[in-house]
Amino acid sequence: MRTQVAIIGGGPSGLLLGQLLHRQGIDAVVLERQTRDYVLGRIRAGVLEEGFVDLMAEAGVADRMEKEGIRHDGTVMAFGEHQVHIDFTRHAGRPVMVYGQTEVTRDLYDARAAAGATTLFQVEDVTLCDLETGKPYVLFRHEGQEKRIDCDFVAGCDGFHGVSRKTIPDNVRTEFEKVYPFGWLGILSETPPVHDELIYSNSERGFALCSMRSHTLSRYYVQCPLTDKAEDWSDDAFWAELKRRIPSEHAANLVTGPSIEKSIAPLRSFVSEPMRWGSLFLCGDAAHIVPPTGAKGLNSAASDVYYLYHGLLSHYLEKDGAGLEAYSEKALARVWKTQRFSWWMTSLLHRFPDQGPFDLKMQVAEMAFLAENDDAQATLARNYVGLPY
């Protein structure tokens, strides 16, 4: 088999890259380890920057998102009972879109199928070969047979546990990591959201987040120890704890119900440099992970896709390799800025096991400064809605 770009990983970043390339007449094959149903069964975030929304439109898959998604002009930051409203439209000139990652992925799969583009599921034993020779190829096992794809480039969109990043030699690759001493217990429920905007709350009992997927589907989180297990938390215990951690006016309006999904996610910051090695380009979680506090995970992947897509366009349509040569540097420059924002949000809103009275006073002062200072609110808003590519 021969293609121009072999995309390893059939999550949203790999699919978005594939769809963008397809619309420009550039051939790409997507290899996915799991089944389509498995990928669509994963519950992920749903706050999209305008840059991501624009890429979906360019890829021709924005119609359902525009119809069913919810544009948010702001968010609420709470510290105990005190609340600060951050106005995205006033401070940054644009909103964010709430539209679940599962729905993004479904739209991209449907578009890929309609285009007749090749996606291979349940692919095993992927090996990336000759990445430094200019004639790379991918070996893998599919439907019981050993197969090979020859290509010009490989896009590693296969996540933290995938093969792509690990293919870069240890003496070339440098990894940076910060592991946070807590996780997020999250539930999904068929209940109306407690508020029409997201609520980020720092309480004496720990962090909480009130989010949503639609007008009838809500997503809620509470900070928990890493030793907790989701099955240890009953729905009643979760709702009671959430009410204790959000301002009383919102707790009074909270509609509870049975959870349809419940899980605990650890929090960490991770970056691997460089994001290019020979003909291999890393995208998304294959190269970097952020805590979910700043809603940057999927959005950071989208910025990688933007830089790689435009680099490939220049290479194929204009015979200009400058964009691909600059890919890693450009992508990492933005990645570290999103890491900084996610780290700041996480530090401000969570209670840490070793937190002393001084640290708590710093959080209180930071929140007070945010409430009183227009420039501080503008900085938060501009980072949240997305830095320019």
- What phi, psi does 263 have (nearest 5°)? -160, 165
pLDDT confidence tier of residue 78, bands split at 50, 70 and 90:
very high
Please say if 296 is a catalytic residue: yes
SS3 content of the chain, % helix, strand, coil (to 5): 40, 30, 30
Of residues 72, 195, 250, 288, which has the active-site annotation? 72
Same domain, 198 and 231: yes
Angle of helix 327-349 relative to helix 297-318, nearest 10 degrees?
170
Strand ordering across the sheet containing 199-203? 82-87, 74-79, 199-203, 206-212, 218-224, 174-189, 259-273, 288-289
Please tell me whether residues 219 and 313 are part of one structural domain. Answer: no
Nearest-angstrom CA–CA distance, 231 and 225: 14
What is the percentage of the chain residues whose pLDDT exceeds 70? 100
Residue-wise pLDDT for 13-31, tens only, equals 999 999 999 999 999 999 9
How many other CB atoms are found less than 10 A from the CB of residue 362? 14
Residue-averaged pLDDT of the chain: 96
Please give the pLDDT value at position 379.
97
**Would 87 be classed as within a structural domain?**
no
**How confident is residue 66, by pLDDT bands cut at 50, 70 and 90?**
very high
| pLDDT computed for residue 317 by the predictor | 95
pLDDT at 30: 98
Q: For residue 174, give the amino acid letter.
A: T
Average of pLDDT values for 103-124? Answer: 96
Residues 52-65: what's their mean pLDDT?
97
pLDDT at 44 over 80: no
Q: Is residue 312 in some structural domain? A: yes
Please check the confidence at residue 96 and state whether its pLDDT lies above 80: yes
224 within a domain of the structure (yes/no): yes
Active site residue 384: yes
Residues 66 and 148 in one domain: yes
16 and 65 inside one domain: yes
CB atoms within 10 A of CB 321: 11
Length of the chain, please? Answer: 389
Q: Which among 99, 137, 307, 384 is annotated as catalytic?
A: 384
Residue 42 has pLDDT above 90, yes or no: no
What is the span of the domain harbouring residue 139? 5-72+95-177+268-345
Judgement on whether residues 9 and 59 belong to the same structural domain of the protein:
yes
pLDDT at position 291: 96
* Cα–Cα distance measured from residue 101 to residue 95, given in angstroms and rounded to the nearest whole number: 18
Reduced to 3 states (helix: H, G, I; strand: E, B; else coil), residue 339 is helix
Catalytic residue selected from 109, 180, 200, 316: 200
- Evaluate whether residue 77 is within a structural domain: no
Give the pLDDT confidence of 125-182 residue by residue, as tens digits. 999 999 999 899 999 999 999 999 999 999 999 999 999 999 999 999 999 999 999 9
Is residue 285 assigned to a domain?
A: yes
Indicate if 263 and 277 belong to the same structural domain.
Answer: no
CA dist., res. 347 & res. 359, Å (int): 10
CATH number for the domain harbouring residue 199: 3.30.9.10
374 and 254 in a common domain? yes
∠ CA(296), CA(302), CA(304), 5° rounding? 105
The reported pLDDT for the residue numbered 213 is: 86
In order of 50, 89, 255, 275, the CA distances from 217 in angstroms are: 22, 25, 11, 36
Residue 336 lies in a domain: yes
Q: What is the domain count for the chain?
A: 2
215 with 340, same domain? Answer: no
Q: pTM to 2 decimals?
A: 0.95
Catalytic site residue from 296, 315, 330, 350: 296
Name every residue whose Cβ is closer than 8 Å to that of residue 142 and which is 6 or more positions away in sequence. Answer: 120, 122, 123, 124
- Residue-level pLDDT at 46: 84
DSSP string, 234-263: -HHHHHHHHHHHS-HHHHTTPPP--EEEEE
pLDDT in tens, 179-199: 999 999 999 999 999 999 999
Domain-located, residue 82: no
> Of 360, 368, 83, whose CA–CA distance to 246 is shortest?
83
Query: For 317-347, what is each residue's pLDDT tens digit?
Result: 999 999 999 999 999 999 999 999 999 999 9
pLDDT at 214: 87
292, 306, 327, 330: which is the annotated catalytic residue? 292
| Shared-domain flag, residues 360 and 240 | yes
Residues 299 and 354 in one domain: no
**CA-based max dimension of the chain:** 64
Task: Band the pLDDT of 286: cuts 50, 70, 90.
Answer: very high
Does the structure show a pLDDT above 80 at 45? Answer: no
Clarify whether residues 23 and 108 are in a common domain.
yes
200 carries an active-site annotation = yes
- In whole angstroms, what is the distance from residue 366 CA to residue 353 CA? 19
Is residue 92 within 8 A of residue 385, CB to CB? The reply is: yes
Residue 218 has pLDDT above 80, yes or no: yes
Answer positive or negative: Cα dihedral of 10, 15, 18, 19: positive
Burial-class residue 318 by CB neighbours within 10 Å (0-12, 13-18, 19+).
exposed
Which pLDDT band holds residue 365 (cuts at 50, 70, 90)?
very high
The enclosing domain of 24 has a CATH number of 3.50.50.60
